[in-house]
């Protein structure tokens, strides 16, 4: 079974036409990979479908905009994957 | 349909919140300035207006399911296919099904049929966000009532 990161990286590579080898756990989806907000909707849709979750993007974005957290917390892929795992676990609980 | 006013949906004939589907009647007008340009001597409904018709139909579905607490803005159209020409006076049915209700976005499939004949289809993504102002919300509610969006989907 592929790891969460492998699945997410595959989605980003396919959806945003970014070479898979440029996508690392340390990549920031926006700052490093240059994914814009429209492409991120596609990524979010694919992630939601793949994991059977609803990522709370609005809540995350609000927290970043309010300065409560750094965007790294949600958009560096390693952290994004941790958040996805937490959502999957919460759904299963 | 009042094409020049972008009023593409005449009447919502069915909206099923459980199945997350909508169906709407849309009759192409016999005359419109749009047909003077598209095309002279051969009037047909522009494909972009078929896309708009599907987008508006799905938009009523998305906003209705949210009880008009938020606005659905067209963000993306994928796999749009215009399968048949549509002439003035033609009676159409537009349908949409919500594929996914995401956080701040929604994805739906739309299609248009004439009788049972497929006319157009697309996958449509919406940005779903607070209404930018109350004026827009009130105006949209007026239109929603006019096109017969089910009353139980209005909070007020």
Question: A93 falls in which pLDDT band (50, 70, 90)?
Answer: confident
Nearest to B75 among A38, A54, A61 (CB): A38
Residue B156 has pLDDT above 70, yes or no: no
CA distance B104 to chain A (A): 6
Question: B152 falls in which pLDDT band (50, 70, 90)?
Answer: confident
Cβ distance A58 to B104 less than 8 Å, yes or no, reads yes
Among residues B95, B87, B116, the alpha carbon closest in space to that of B27 is found at B87
Closest Cα in chain A to B105: A41
Give me the interface pTM, i.e. the ipTM. Answer: 0.90
Q: Are strands B71-82 and B91-101 parallel, antiparallel or unpaired?
A: unpaired
B77 in contact with A, Cβ within 8 Å: no
Catalytic positions of B: 38
Cβ distance B127 to A56 less than 8 Å, yes or no, reads no
Q: Please give the tally of structural domains in chain A.
A: 1
**Residue A41 sits in which domain range?**
4-92
B89-117 per-residue burial string, b: 16 or more CB within 10 A, e: under 16: ebebbbbbebbebbbbbbbbbbbbbbeee
Cβ distance B107 to A45 less than 8 Å, yes or no, reads yes
Phi/psi of residue A80, nearest 5 degrees: -60, -45
pLDDT in tens, B23-53: 999 999 999 999 999 999 999 999 999 999 9
Residues of B in contact with A42 (CB under 8 A): 76, 125
A65: CATH: 1.10.1200.10
pLDDT at position A45: 97
A55 in contact with B, Cβ within 8 Å: yes
B102 in contact with A, Cβ within 8 Å: yes
Question: A1 falls in which pLDDT band (50, 70, 90)?
Answer: confident
Q: If you count residue pairs, one on A and one on B, with CB atoms under 8 Å apart, how many are there?
A: 35
How far apart CA B154 and CA B138 sit, in angstroms, is 12
pLDDT in tens, B83-142: 999 999 999 999 999 999 999 999 999 999 999 999 999 999 999 999 999 999 999 999
B76 in contact with A, Cβ within 8 Å: yes
> Where do runs of H (alpha helix) occur along chain B?
33-37, 47-65, 134-146
Query: What's the average model confidence in pLDDT over B45-66?
Result: 98
Among residues B96, B148, B150, the alpha carbon closest in space to that of B126 is found at B96
Q: Which domains does chain B have, with CATH numbers?
A: 3-142 (3.10.129.10)
């Amino acid at each position: 079974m592929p790891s969460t990161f492998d699945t997410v990286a595959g989605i980003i590579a396919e959806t945003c036409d970014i070479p898979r080898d440029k996508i690392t756990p340390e990549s920031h989806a926006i700052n490093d990979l240059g994914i814009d907000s429209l492409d991120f909707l596609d990524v979010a849709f694919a992630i939601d479908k793949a994991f059977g979750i609803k990522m709370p993007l609005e809540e995350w974005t609000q927290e970043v905009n309010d300065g409560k957290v750094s965007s790294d917390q949600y958009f560096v892929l390693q952290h994004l994957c941790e958040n996805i795992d937490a959502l999957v676990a919460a759904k299963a609980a | 349909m009042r094409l020049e006013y972008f009023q593409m949906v005449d009447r919502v004939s069915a909206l099923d919140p459980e199945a997350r589907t909508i169906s709407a009647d849309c009759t192409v007008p016999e005359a419109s300035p749009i047909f003077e340009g598209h095309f002279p001597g051969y009037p047909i409904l522009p494909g972009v207006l078929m896309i708009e018709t599907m987008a508006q139909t799905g938009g009523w579905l998305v906003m209705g399911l949210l009880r008009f607490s938020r606005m659905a803005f067209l963000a993306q159209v994928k796999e749009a296919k215009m399968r048949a020409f549509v002439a003035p006076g033609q009676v159409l049915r537009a349908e949409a099904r919500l594929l996914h209700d995401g956080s701040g976005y929604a994805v739906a499939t739309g299609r248009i049929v004439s009788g049972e004949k497929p006319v157009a289809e697309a996958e449509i993504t919406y940005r779903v966000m607070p209404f930018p102002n109350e004026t827009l919300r009130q105006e949209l509610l007026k239109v929603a009532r006019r096109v017969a969006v089910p009353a139980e989907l209005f909070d007020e």
